[in-house]
Amino acid sequence: MIGSGETAWDMFVHVLRILPLALLFALPVAALGGLALYLLRHRSLVTTMTTLVLTPIAAMLIGILGVSGFMFTEALTTELLVCLLVALVAVPAAMVLGRVIARRSVWEREARERERAAEASRRELVAWISHDLRSPLAGIQAMAEALADGVVSERAEVADYAQRISGETTRLSGMVGDLFELSRITAGALELSMSAVPLRDVVSDAVAAQAPVADRKRVRVLENASAWPVVSGSDPELARIVRNLVSNAIRHTPPDGTVAVQIGIDGDQALLAVDDGCGGIPDDEISRVFDVAFRGTQARTPDRSGTTSGGGLGLAIAKGLVEAHRGRIGVRNHGPGCRFEVRLPLAVS
């Protein structure tokens, strides 16, 4: 404790006297630390945090040594040991904090990127669906007005209009169903009733359901199996996966072309491969094939059969359903077209 004003004044004078000397030794170290931070600005956050902690500790050490005239007295040794202990605690803490902040920064950046991608997909989906809904609705409205106004009166013409209205209504119903299914997948509200499902039955039923479309377009659909695995899954959703892939393959295969559906076992997974004759997918688009509402460019063989091309949701739905089954789906160019491969876990015997 300071006993008198004189003692306090002496201490104040002493501090004023040693302060410039301490700054003389400490400031260059601080400047070097600042330069190091600038040079390491593109390095990891852990390196930056460690440098940021070590710089003031090193400046303090040099300042103490400079003021003491590098005379290692007992008091100086104690001060140096205290600084060393501070460094031993602060440096690991800075490294841990740097890693935590770095992981959080990466997570936040990825979350922002996912949010931007999702928002872009939503806007694209709204644009596509708005366009696709407008066409059949306009056709239905025009034909309904013609029937109501008596413009069409012949029995055969009335029957034709009714059939076309029914077709457009079916198309709209399918698009609404796709939207509902996709909303369940993206919202995580999809509930699967898992059981052992023979993949042979699923594929055969899906191919048979698509046979009329293939016949109208003169596309052959062939089935080939090296094995008929039993998978763990939900029958309706598995059927939807196969149906979407086969339908997509038929749509993009030119008349007189071939769609091949192959089944097999690869290790502990069932393998489903669907080959089409689409002419291939450009390299800059193949990674976006499963995006919502993505249809690609005209590089793929256009559909001239008169069938509708859908809302661009079939492959996105197939991907969501495959992942819900803890499986994987991929696509690559193969032969005259491309190959979609689905891998699903086998049922436990």
pLDDT, average across residues 2-15: 62
pLDDT(302) > 60: no
The domain made up of 120-186 has a fold known as Helix Hairpins (1.10.287)
Lateral strand order in the sheet of 337-345 = 220-225, 258-266, 269-275, 337-345, 328-334
Question: Is the Cα torsion angle 307, 144, 174, 311 positive or negative in sign?
Answer: positive
Distance CA 292, CA 225 (A): 31
Of 120 and 34, the one with more pLDDT? 34
Token couple for 56: 């003031």
pLDDT of residue 307: 45
Model's pTM, two decimal places?
A: 0.59
Q: Which of 46-60, 172-186, 188-202, 204-218 has the highest mean pLDDT?
A: 204-218
The correct answer on CATH 3.30.565.10 for the domain covering 195-345 is: yes
Write out pLDDT tens, residues 97-123. 777 777 777 777 887 887 787 777 667
Beta bridge partners of 271: 264, 343
CA-wise closest residue to 254 among 274, 278, 272 = 278
Q: Which of 17-21, 173-177, 302-306 has the lowest mean pLDDT?
A: 302-306
CA-wise closest residue to 64 among 42, 34, 47, 86 = 86
Rounding to the nearest 10 degrees, give the CA dihedral for residues 108, 110, 111, 115.
140
Write out pLDDT tens, residues 239-255. 999 999 999 999 999 99
Token couple for 156: 């055969």
Of 80 and 331, the one with more pLDDT? 331
The domain ranges of the chain are: 5-108, 120-186, 195-345
CA-wise closest residue to 225 among 261, 275, 267, 269 = 261
pLDDT(281) > 70: yes
Asked if 231 and 267 touch (Cβ cutoff 8 Å), the reply is no
